[in-house]
Structure 1
Amino acid sequence: MNRSRILLVTGVFPPGIGGMQNYYYNLAKHTKHEITVLAADYPGSSAFDLEQAFPIVRGEFLRGESVDLGRWGSLFRHVRRLLRREEPDVTLYGYVLIGFIGLLFHWFGGRRYIISTHGMDMLMFRRFPGLNQVVKLILRKADGVLTNSEYTRRLVLEYGVDSRRISIVNPGVESIYHKREPSPELIARHDLAGRYVLLTVGRLVTRKGHDRVIEALPAILKRIPNAVYMIVGDGPERERLERLAKEEGVADAVRFVGSVSGSERLNEYFNLASQFIMVARELKEGNAEGFGIVYLEAASACVPVIAGRSGGASEAVLDGVTGLLVDPESTGEIAKAVVRLRSDAPLRERLIRNGCRRAKTQFQHHVLAETFDMYIDQVCASPAKRRKPANKPEPAVGKIHS
């Protein structure tokens, strides 16, 4: 078995919570290759890192949940030190702009690098011509580009990247998600006895579509009077969404749960749900759902799914096969889909059966890791684009501090 050495450079990583954190963690956990992770420091990182089978180096790189480009110099120095110490065969950068570091070490040291992309990062810089040209250069010079969906792959192709250097590795589903009896404690806490529960799990940001579900609730309640909308997650939109629920006259039918930590606890919330709904939409400023692993997590827990027809959601949810897709801007279509799933038992059972089978076969982490490993083998087997020049040292920025 050929084993390559990988350096993964990512801002987001557990014990931080989120889809990208889980994505990179499971690549590191399940790959056959030797991997070292350079990630941002979180509360509880030390205890978490001790439990892992691969080395993790931490640094102060984040501002909120985003890489702080003001600390780019510190990140650069960490990467340089690890390149010299680990001598990896390839470096995987988990955010396109920090891939500029990979571009520099490619130019001045012949280092192979791969950029990992998630959809929104391929859209957000297009309004800024200068940054967009930098993104294009980073992508075109990379030895490979890893995408989380066909949707994201198409966005990368628009930058003129050779299709042969692009690979898709979807996010995976934790095995913890499964059907179980609803928690009496949670039913009592959220006053759900006898209620028909619609559930959304996700950060409270505009693209997730919580507002459209709230706006559709009056029509839903006319047909399903015992319906209640449970929102798990937190974020900058919470105050606006709470105000919207009052304006629509449905505040009594909306539950704001806040953040829930841990897959096992989240599975308990999935098992409260009669339906899972997240009508994500693409925003004008370049903001879209690149894939949406939460749809498959819900499906794995045997919950029927409704998704917005935008971004990569149509890959996570196969319309009429594993769930229903709706126009995320149409409250009428949203309400109609909810009522249809409530009233059409054969359809609901078929979607549950197909969705659960797909989540538990195609989207398990060990299956996806095989695709990732084959891609790493391909990149590392190709000749380096540029050998390290004898008269040009690797770029230096400041001093290195251990």
Structure 2
Amino acid sequence: MNRKKVVLVAGVFPPGIGGMQSYYYNLSKHTKHEITVLAPAYPGSEAFDGQQSFRTVRGAFMRNERAHILSWGRLFRHVRKMMVEEPDVTVYGYVLIGIIGLLFRVFGKRRYVISTHGMDMLMFRRFIGLNQIVKLILVHADGVLTNSIFTRKLVEDYGVDPSRIRLVHPGVEAVFDQRSANVELIRRHGLEDKYVILSVGRLVTRKGQDRVIEAMPEILKHIPNAVYVIVGDGPDRARLEHIVQVNGVSDAVIFIGSISGSESLNDYYNMADQFIMVCRELEKGDAEGFGIVYLEAASAGVPVIAGRSGGALEAVLDGVTGLLVNPDSHTEIIESVLQLAQDHALRDRLITAGYKRAKTGFQYEVLAEIFDQYVEELCASPRANNSKLVRKRPRMKQDIR
């Protein structure tokens, strides 16, 4: 392999917690290219960075893991410093900060790639001005990474040449695997002799924890010892707690909150009898781009239920590796939970197929090879002509540094 110099401008990154953080970290960890990550600072960043094999540059250019208007100048200056090292390609991990890549593309002939995740392709469509900016960023990028076929179609809707788009799914970290249940964890949460239904994810409306809570009264009629365990935190927590009270299921719903470390999360998967996240697409353009938690659960030998929306249709193969339901149908949610609890042959079949798929096609060593090949192909191709964007570009003595 012809090793290239890659800069990843990551809007989110560990030690922050989340699917995108894991995605960018593992691509950086497993790529064979020389990668430098430009990432926001977090508490504990210095200790985390010291344990990695790749270089990370931290900057105070994000607020709550989002670029805000007062930070654009600082972020631009950070990227400009990285350009001095003359990377072969720069990958922008959030579509709007790709405007910086577009500027360096036009005035400095620097190659850039935009990494997309689904929601970022939907959230700006309601705003004409921002939508046009997103289109410019995508159309003039040398390449676009997508995390699912769902996201790829959204990118193509912007008029991006399909030949410049590459699909690199999120992967499952090796730590997620089948283990004996953690007895101490079960005792801590009072889950002895309980039938554990588990969700893992940020507490936001699209994840569908509300629909499962609303289904719990009927589920409890058939599975009296059922408990719905919710791992994660977010802005929807107060609303979800209110739904618990309204439905009278306080004794059957446990909010764990945020936990740190994949090792601990694997313990939660391994104490679950089934996993559920009935994600749905919202009118405001909020959708699940993929849903790696389904494959994490499958890696731990847990059967899964997903909402039939967004990229979840790729993460879970209906009737093969899990069950897909209408996320707005309490009846389908209840029936699927009961089916997994009662149909042991189906349960075993889904567990076996789900585990095999997660452990073969969704390991980061494999996915990083796709990323590496894509980078090589981009660097081997001639830079695209920017004449359609800037008709008359002044001659420059040297590239922007």
Q: Same fold (TM over 0.5)?
A: yes
Mapped partners of 1:326, 1:332: distance in 2: 9
Q: CA, structure 1 residues 56+340, in 2 after alignment: closer, same or farther (shift >3 Å)?
A: same
Q: CA deviation at 1:342?
A: 0.5
Contact 1:11 1:61 in 2 (8 A): no
Contact 2:23 2:170 in 1 (8 A): yes
Question: Equivalent residue for 1:289?
Answer: 288
Q: Which amino acid aligns with 2:5?
A: R
Mapped partners of 1:390, 1:10: distance in 2: 31
Question: Equivalent residue for 1:399?
Answer: none
Q: Per the alignment, in what secondary structure is the counterpart of residue 234 of structure 1? A: coil
Q: Does 1:203 align with 2:202?
A: yes
Between the two proteins, the alignment pairs up a number of residues equal to 395
Contact 2:109 2:399 in 1 (8 A): no
Contact 1:106 1:386 in 2 (8 A): no
Question: Equivalent residue for 1:191?
Answer: 190
Q: Per the alignment, in what secondary structure is the counterpart of residue 372 of structure 1? A: helix
Q: CA deviation at 1:390?
A: 4.3
The share of aligned pairs that are identical, in percent, is 67
Contact 2:40 2:65 in 1 (8 A): no
Q: Which amino acid aligns with 1:29?
A: K
Q: Which amino acid aligns with 1:110?
A: K
Question: After the TM superposition, which residues 137-286 of structure 1 pair with which residues of structure 2 at under 5 Å, given as runs?
Answer: 137-286=136-285
Q: Does 1:17 align with 2:17?
A: yes
Q: Which amino acid aligns with 1:14?
A: P
Mapped partners of 2:394, 2:262: distance in 1: 48
Cα RMSD over matched residues? 1.3
Q: Does 1:105 align with 2:104?
A: yes
Q: Per the alignment, in what secondary structure is the counterpart of residue 332 of structure 1? A: helix
Question: Equivalent residue for 1:400?
Answer: none
Question: Equivalent residue for 1:44?
Answer: 44
Question: After the TM superposition, which residues 361-400 of structure 1 pair with which residues of structure 2 at under 5 Å, given as runs?
Answer: 361-386=360-385, 390-391=395-396
Question: Equivalent residue for 2:310?
Answer: 311
Contact 1:177 1:297 in 2 (8 A): yes
Contact 1:173 1:297 in 2 (8 A): yes
Q: 5+ unaligned residues in a row in structure 1: which ranges?
A: 397-402
Mapped partners of 2:60, 2:288: distance in 1: 27
Q: CA deviation at 1:389?
A: 6.7
Q: CA deviation at 1:59?
A: 0.4
Deviations along 1:209-256, whole A, 9 cap, x unmatched? 000000011111111111000000011111111111010011110000
Contact 1:172 1:368 in 2 (8 A): yes
Q: 5+ unaligned residues in a row in structure 2: which ranges?
A: 387-392
Q: CA deviation at 1:32?
A: 1.1
Q: Which amino acid aligns with 1:75?
A: L
Mean CA deviation greater in 385-394 or 9-18? 385-394
Deviations along 1:48-101, whole A, 9 cap, x unmatched? 1111111111001222132224201000000001101x2001100000000000
Mapped partners of 2:366, 2:352: distance in 1: 20
Q: Per the alignment, in what secondary structure is the counterpart of residue 167 of structure 1? A: strand
Q: Which amino acid aligns with 2:190?
A: D
Q: Per the alignment, in what secondary structure is the counterpart of residue 198 of structure 2? A: strand
Runs of 4 or more consecutive aligned structure 1 residues displaced over 6 Å after TM superposition: none
Mapped partners of 2:45, 2:385: distance in 1: 37
Q: Which amino acid aligns with 2:226?
A: A
Mapped partners of 2:16, 2:43: distance in 1: 8
Q: Per the alignment, in what secondary structure is the counterpart of residue 342 of structure 1? A: helix
Mapped partners of 2:93, 2:249: distance in 1: 40
Mapped partners of 1:329, 1:392: distance in 2: 59
Q: TM-score, normalised by structure 2?
A: 0.97
Mapped partners of 1:391, 1:245: distance in 2: 63
Q: Which amino acid aligns with 1:30?
A: H
Q: Per the alignment, in what secondary structure is the counterpart of residue 376 of structure 2? A: helix
Q: CA deviation at 1:385?
A: 2.3
Q: TM-score, normalised by structure 1?
A: 0.96
Q: Which amino acid aligns with 1:155?
A: L
Deviations along 1:93-124, whole A, 9 cap, x unmatched? 00000000000000001111000000000000
Mapped partners of 1:313, 1:66: distance in 2: 25
Q: CA deviation at 1:335?
A: 0.4
Q: Per the alignment, in what secondary structure is the counterpart of residue 242 of structure 2? A: helix
Mapped partners of 1:216, 1:354: distance in 2: 27
Q: Which amino acid aligns with 1:58?
A: R
Q: Per the alignment, in what secondary structure is the counterpart of residue 73 of structure 2? A: helix
Contact 2:138 2:144 in 1 (8 A): yes
Q: CA, structure 1 residues 392+283, in 2 after alignment: closer, same or farther (shift >3 Å)?
A: farther
Mapped partners of 1:392, 1:288: distance in 2: 45
Mapped partners of 1:64, 1:97: distance in 2: 16
Q: Which amino acid aligns with 1:109?
A: G
